[in-house]
Amino acid sequence: MNIAENLHSIRESIPDHVDLVAVSKTKPNALILEAYNCGQRIFGENKIQDLAEKQAALPKDIQWHFIGHLQTNKVKYIAPFVNLIHAVDSLKLLKEINKRAAQHDRVINCLLQIKIAQEESKFGLSVSDAKILLASEEVANLDNIKITGLMGMSTNTPDQNQVNQEFKDLKSLFDTLTTDYNLTILSMGMSGDYALAIKQGSNMIRVGSSIFGART
Ligand SMILES: *Cc1c(COP(=O)(O)O)cnc(C)c1O
């Protein structure tokens, strides 16, 4: 795997307004540094302990995104530094993030994960539950979190029409909600489908294996 070459060709193929999150989960610090030395600054992890260890060891100007399913009892470990939490799917979790962020005098940016895939295994809020959360006064009163956008994962299927439709649906929800809630980030697209996601309006892609190689 040539990380520099991979990063270069991904950057060449995506528009400037799309942020690239390099998903470094399971990968050692040496490989993350290789990407860092190519100018990459946004990295994504999905395990709390890995994220905390990597953040402590690696350069402090890295922006760390948490992209996995977050348990409330683990928020405290990343609250001091996390830049964006991609997969928030409950009021309980938002309240805990708010509480921990307040302890560090920070505002933590969060994305609501919307369930767009048909697979049962994928986490995320239904469209109606997301709307209820955004409209709730309780959420509006959480001063130490900011809901800055939406995140979604498409169904793992070779059917490109289905993936395309799921991205289209999420973009249309994003457009509807952004008027009232000033959302700016639409995180959708991974190694296998980021080109399609960008075509449908994604402005943040989460790419792992196409940069760092397959995970074992
Ligand atoms: C692992 C992961 C990715 C990256 O997947 P690749 O197919 O390796 O690009 C993106 N988003 C989430 C939420 C992930 O867990």
Backbone φ and ψ of 158, nearest 5°: -75, -10
What is the DSSP secondary-structure string of 123-143? --B-HHHHHHHHH-HHHHT-T
CA of 65 to the centre of ligand 1 (A): 12
- Residue 191 in contact with ligand 1 by CB distance below 6 A: yes
| CA dihedral (170, 144, 73, 82) positive or negative | positive
- Residue 123 in contact with ligand 1 by CB distance below 6 A: no
Name the residue of 1, 6, 23, 123 to mutate for ligand 1: max ligand atoms within 8 A of Cβ.
23
State the closest ligand 1 atom to the C-alpha of 21, by its place in the atom list counted from 1.
10
pLDDT reported for residue 121: 63
Nearest C-alpha to atom 12 of ligand 1 is from which residue? 67
Question: Is residue 166 a contact partner of residue 122, using CB atoms and an 8 Å limit?
Answer: no
- Residue 109 in contact with ligand 1 by CB distance below 6 A: no
- Residue 63 in contact with ligand 1 by CB distance below 6 A: no
Residue for token pair 């929800």: 173
d(CA 122, CA 118) in angstroms, rounded, equals: 8
pLDDT reported for residue 122: 63
Nearest C-alpha to atom 10 of ligand 1 is from which residue? 206
State the closest ligand 1 atom to the C-alpha of 86, by its place in the atom list counted from 1.
13
Radius of gyration of the chain (CA): 17
Mean pLDDT by 10 residues, the chain (216 residues): 94 98 98 98 98 98 97 98 97 98 98 89 88 97 98 94 97 96 97 98 98 93
pLDDT reported for residue 192: 96
Q: Which has the closest alpha carbon to 76: 51, 43, 100?
A: 100
- Residue 207 in contact with ligand 1 by CB distance below 6 A: yes
Q: Does the pTM exceed 0.95?
A: yes
